[in-house]
Amino acid sequence: MNREGEADVLVIGAGAAGAAAAWSLSQRGARVVCLEQGEWIPPERRPKSHLDWEVRTRRYWSPSPNLRQWPADYPVASFGADPINVLLYNCVGGSTIGYAANYWHLSPSDFRVRTLDGVGIDWPISYQDLAPYYTRNERILGVAGLVGDPWSPPREPLPLPPAPLGNQGRIVLRGFEKLGWEYWPTEQAIATRPYDGRAACDFRSFCPFGCPPGAMSSADVTYWPKALKNGVELHTNARVREISLHPNGRARGAIYYDVEGRAWETRARLVLVSCGGIGTPRLLLMSTSSQHPDGLANSSGLVGRNLMVHIQTFAVGLFEDRVDAWKGTWGGSLSTRQFYETDPRRKYVRGFVMSGCPGWSPLNLALQLAPWGAQHHETLAHYLNHEVVVFLCGEDLPAESNRVELDWEHLDEFGMPGAKTHYTLDENGKRLGADMIDHGRRLLDAAGAVSVRDFGLSPLIGWHLLGTARMGTDPLASVVDSDHRAHDVSNLFIVDGSSFTTSAGVNPTSTIQALALRCADRIWQRRRDWQ
């Protein structure tokens, strides 16, 4: 069952982090093999290549693995007082193939929430440690935006100009100005000009439902072509069953099933796990042995614990005039970080961001609002192309009781367990969520909305899956160290959303990829330890 030879680095997972790390290590000359449980998604499978794209997004492109049921998907069940709606993709590019590409830096304060606000724990690294990697990543992807917002430390210019505002952006701007609130163009990993051989955005909107031109910087069109050119060996349809170990306790590689269900082992000097906030703890918990009966790298008992998902929802304003919601970039025009930091006048700690977005498309809106029968057409025409959406995203504090476990009652197609999430929103989160929605509604009111609705906090959106193998200095309180090396296994590294020590309150992909580039640097700097 052994594959020929031994790689320098085995990367498990070809998503945002795995792609960045594989590219970075191969760029230096490391021999890298990557195992990805899913496959490549060709342009013609992307819904927005087709007129019936909205139907396709409810079938094979559903972000819920339970609904679309790709062969690579494992079941995910949700429990707890506030069960989350888990959304992710298992394929080359991972969940970036269906994200909105909002691309924030964390703030310096995000790395020090225990010190500053007395909650959570501090990260073992600082903003300054990560800043160069944010910049490197932005140049590789082609991130659009402007530096100069008042909430950020000084930083390098972004390679591309911000996305156009359009009518809906001007409406959001009107609200910000009327309230005297601060705002800035939303940074997005979208090529607003041709960039690095990729076509420019043509403003089809609804970015999560596939970007046929490849302007949206998903990992399959950014890092992977470069990594493959560097010689990275990418095996798709490779469902990893367990990380294998040498008798001395060091990682030896991984055992996986190929597309036909045949077991193979790929060996490497070093193993890097990048399967995401659910997939990473699932794999570690599946990798039991006499040395690690509770799962690999789990002596702290924290593998799968401290699941954070951000407190996310939408406020939606109805406007008399048409808003041209059919064009633009979907992830946002203008955003604000004005309410991001702890404010003693509010009854909670930490904060949130808001981003203006276009409204909903016909089928989506009809399913939300248009009753069947005689009133159907009038209702839809009342709302369609008259709504502006404000995306709201707030910080979610870590709690050990919020967790990912194996689900042996629901198996994938190769008999491996699914995942269970348990999640309960704490009181701080509930207060933050209510205030965040109130701010979103105020913004839309000020912009001139004739009415405002919101999506509430249930079910919580489970796009940002964080914290389940967190970084830290204390082996009793974290799974990996500041270099992403597992405390328990010297040649096992973990980098992806699970590495987040606290969640911050912004879309995480920018930070996930910056962490991956930094992790790859650390691995390379200490290559004599594993070569």
With binding defined as CB under 8 A, does residue 288 bind other proteins?
no
Query: Cβ closer to other proteins: 124 or 295?
Result: 124
Residue 314: what are its φ and ψ, rounded to 5°?
A: -130, 145
Distance CA 113, CA 505 (A): 12
With binding defined as CB under 8 A, does residue 363 bind other proteins?
yes
Q: What is the 3-state secondary structure (H, E, C) of 87-127?
A: CCCCCCCHHHHHCCCECCCCCHHHHHHHHHHCCCCCCCCCH
Look up tokens 């973990």; give the residue: 494
Interface with other proteins (CB under 8 A), residue from 18, 19, 84, 204: 204
Interface with other proteins (CB under 8 A), residue from 27, 62, 85, 490: 62
Interface with other proteins (CB under 8 A), residue from 235, 250, 327, 453: 327
3-state SS, residue 17:
helix
Tokens of 118: 């007395």
Tokens of 226: 């470069």
Give, as one character, the DSSP assignment of residue 489: -
Cα three-residue angle 446-448-453, rounded to 5 degrees:
85
First-to-last alpha carbon distance for the chain, in angstroms, is 24
Candidate ranges 147-155, 278-286, 306-314, 428-436; the one touching other proteins (CB under 8 A) = 147-155
With binding defined as CB under 8 A, does residue 225 bind other proteins?
no
Radius of gyration of the chain (CA): 22
With binding defined as CB under 8 A, does residue 162 bind other proteins?
yes
Distance CA 361, CA 331 (A): 14
Query: Cβ closer to other proteins: 71 or 475?
Result: 71
CB of 491 to other proteins, least distance (A): 32
With binding defined as CB under 8 A, does residue 147 bind other proteins?
no
With binding defined as CB under 8 A, does residue 118 bind other proteins?
no
Candidate ranges 247-255, 312-320, 362-370, 500-508; the one touching other proteins (CB under 8 A) = 362-370
Q: Provide the pairing of β-strand 184-185 with 403-411.
A: unpaired
List all residues 6 or more positions away from 378 whose beta carbon is below 8 Å from its beta carbon.
Answer: none
The contact pattern for other proteins, residues 330-349, with x = CB under 8 A and - = no contact, is -----------x--------
Distance CA 342, CA 346 (A): 8
With binding defined as CB under 8 A, does residue 68 bind other proteins?
yes
Query: Cβ closer to other proteins: 160 or 517?
Result: 160
With binding defined as CB under 8 A, does residue 412 bind other proteins?
no
With binding defined as CB under 8 A, does residue 1 bind other proteins?
no
**Cβ atoms 331, 186 nearer than 8 A:** yes
With binding defined as CB under 8 A, does residue 373 bind other proteins?
yes
Interface with other proteins (CB under 8 A), residue from 263, 381, 411, 450: 381
Residue 520: what are its φ and ψ, rounded to 5°?
A: -60, -40
Residue 371: what are its φ and ψ, rounded to 5°?
A: -70, 155
**Cβ atoms 240, 280 nearer than 8 A:** no
CB of 476 to other proteins, least distance (A): 24
With binding defined as CB under 8 A, does residue 510 bind other proteins?
no
Chain centroid to CA 88? 8
Query: Cβ closer to other proteins: 56 or 420?
Result: 56
CB of 153 to other proteins, least distance (A): 6
Q: Provide the pairing of β-strand 387-394 with 352-358.
A: antiparallel
Chain centroid to CA 362? 27
Candidate ranges 52-60, 93-101, 218-226, 486-494; the one touching other proteins (CB under 8 A) = 52-60
Chain centroid to CA 225? 21
With binding defined as CB under 8 A, does residue 450 bind other proteins?
no
Candidate ranges 374-382, 410-418, 483-491, 509-517; the one touching other proteins (CB under 8 A) = 374-382
CB of 176 to other proteins, least distance (A): 9
Interface with other proteins (CB under 8 A), residue from 43, 161, 231, 261: 161
Query: Cβ closer to other proteins: 213 or 249?
Result: 213
With binding defined as CB under 8 A, does residue 414 bind other proteins?
no
Candidate ranges 234-242, 254-262, 369-377, 512-520; the one touching other proteins (CB under 8 A) = 369-377
For the beta carbon of residue 350, count every other beta carbon within 10 angstroms: 29
Candidate ranges 110-118, 305-313, 467-475, 509-517; the one touching other proteins (CB under 8 A) = 110-118
CB of 139 to other proteins, least distance (A): 20
Interface with other proteins (CB under 8 A), residue from 18, 25, 33, 53: 53
With binding defined as CB under 8 A, does residue 127 bind other proteins?
yes
**Cβ atoms 88, 63 nearer than 8 A:** yes
With binding defined as CB under 8 A, does residue 241 bind other proteins?
no
With binding defined as CB under 8 A, does residue 420 bind other proteins?
no
With binding defined as CB under 8 A, does residue 326 bind other proteins?
yes
For the beta carbon of residue 88, count every other beta carbon within 10 angstroms: 22
With binding defined as CB under 8 A, does residue 81 bind other proteins?
no
With binding defined as CB under 8 A, does residue 255 bind other proteins?
no
**H/E stretch holding 52:** none
- Which of these, 27, 89, 107, lies nearest to 218 by C-alpha position? 89
